[in-house]
Amino acid sequence: MRKFVLLVLLAVLLPSAEPFLTVHEAWCESSSAPAIWVVDMQRVISESQSGKAARADIELEIKKRQSKLELKKSALQQKRADLAKQQALLSKDALAERQAAIEKQERDLVRELRDEQDALTRHNQVEIERLVKQIHQVVEQLSKEQKKQLVIEQDRRVVLYVSERYDFTAAVIQSLDRKTGKL
């Protein structure tokens, strides 16, 4: 275990991870040491059927909300155009009253737009959290079945390079697709 920790520390301290990987691969092949398996979560989310379905759901929700806001925006623009046409016919008080009403509706529309963006952000977070939870369950199940001792998320700040041999992503995508296909 000390050798393994030392190798990990060397990999972090070395400017290139390749010497570490060569030593690590040789060490794993020559002993019963644990191998480090890596899962690219972004790839799982973008390539799995669950990820594609979540993305489609979010895009559909965005389109619905955008069309609703576009209708309100065009109605407001029509009111502004009508007011411009009637401007010469209205008294100063009536004109000021209508302008104030339109300005209030514009503020309300801007506020509603912000609220919709916040709601979409929350919806997106809920979908991603649900998907990540599914992925974690699949990774845990596969790791136990295949006796993987250590699986980490591929993060470019931590993992500079990973051999395809230690990339667990494709297996996770396949298993997640099988699992969600049964639901």
**Sequential DSSP letters for the chain:** -HHHHHHHHHHHHSS-SHHHHHHHHHHHHHS-PPPEEEE-HHHHHHHSHHHHHHHHHHHHHHHHHHHHHHHHHHHHHHHHHHHHHHTTTS-HHHHHHHHHHHHHHHHHHHHHHHHHHHHHHHHHHHHHHHHHHHHHHHHHHHHHHTT--EEEE--TTT-S---GGGB-HHHHHHHHHHHHHH-
Q: Is the domain of 100 the same as that of 171?
A: yes
- Residue ranges making up the domain that contains 164: 34-182
Q: Is the domain of 23 the same as that of 107?
A: no
Averaged pLDDT for residues 141-170 = 88
Which pLDDT score, from 0 to 100, does residue 105 have? 94
Confidence check: pLDDT of 115 > 50: yes
Q: Is the domain of 63 the same as that of 5?
A: no
Which pLDDT score, from 0 to 100, does residue 114 have? 95
Q: Is the domain of 89 the same as that of 112?
A: yes
Which pLDDT score, from 0 to 100, does residue 9 have? 44
The per-residue pLDDT of the chain, averaged, comes to 83
Confidence check: pLDDT of 15 > 60: no
Q: Is the domain of 178 the same as that of 146?
A: yes
For the whole model, what pTM was predicted?
Answer: 0.66
Better-predicted residue by pLDDT, 109 or 18: 109
